Amino acid sequence: MARKERSSDTVFSRLRQVGEEAVNTILDELKINRSLRNRVERAGEQLKANKALLDKNIEFLLDLMNLPSKREVRELRERVDRLTGQIVNLNLKLDRLLAQREKTRAAGRKISKATSN
């Protein structure tokens, strides 16, 4: 069993090493080759623009289907969290008021018993 783990560790280490070498080779090429760097930069900008357009279209489709987007769900969750906090605060205040009211009533009962005796 330990032998299999060691062999899989070596396989993964070798894969990681090969991947690192490939990335380093690409980065070195980008440093040297200005036209390649410009093409990669343009491709990145185009990818960013396409993603923004795709996100906009998905949000439009979700709206057509009357489904909330991730942003809308996140905003609603934040609102629910705020409201939950407010409810907890109100409950604490109500508990304090009820406790104070009960103390006042108990004190009033003691006074009325004392004066009636």
Q: pLDDT digits over 91-113, tens only?
A: 999 999 999 998 888 877 777 77
* Helices 2-32/34-64 angle, 10° precision: 110
Q: What is the mean pLDDT of residues 68-91?
A: 95
Whole-model pTM over 0.75: no
CA-CA distance, 91 to 83, in Å (whole number)? Answer: 12
pLDDT of residue 9 exceeding 80: no
* Domain coordinates in residue numbering, the chain: 71-117
- pLDDT for position 91: 97
Q: What is the mean pLDDT of residues 37-63?
A: 93
How far is CA 82 from each of CA 10, 89, 101, rounded to the nearest angstrom? Answer: 51, 11, 29
Q: What value does the mean pLDDT of the chain take? A: 88
pLDDT of residue 117 exceeding 80: no
Residue type, 3: R
- Could you please report the per-residue DSSP string of 29-86? HHHH-HHHHHHHHHHHHHHHHHHHHHHHHHHHHHHHTT---HHHHHHHHHHHHHHHHH
CA-CA distance, 80 to 62, in Å (whole number)? Answer: 22
